Amino acid sequence: ILTMHRIPRGCKGRTGGRPVLLQHGLVSSSFDFLSPPTNLALSYALADAGYDVWLGNFRGNIYSTEHVGYDSTDRRFWNFS
């Protein structure tokens, strides 16, 4: 189960903008798009511009350790094929 985070509107309160997906790189998470100060983060700048911002997560990071059948301590959890 991959967790998605969403910023549906910025500080200006505009909603209904076009969706934008930001996806992190290797060994990272969606937090990378939130960690700079809000006036410097790309995710917040896009939300303030009226976009509906979605932040994705790949398997194996802190936000994507859920599974319908296995716990993350089970070897089968990590069999992605």
Phi-psi bin for 27: left (phi > 0), alpha (psi -120 to 50), beta? left
Q: Please tell me the total count of domains within the chain.
A: 1
Host domain of residue 47: 5-78
pTM of the model: 0.79
Per-residue pLDDT of the chain (81 residues; tens, 9 = 90+): 788 999 988 887 777 789 999 999 888 999 988 887 777 899 999 999 999 999 999 877 878 877 888 887 888 888 876
Q: Which two tokens mark 12? A: 């200006």
> Which tokens hold the place of 16?
């209904």
31 token code pair: 């937090």
CA distance 72 to 80: 12
Whether 3 and 58 have beta carbons less than 8 Å apart is answered as no
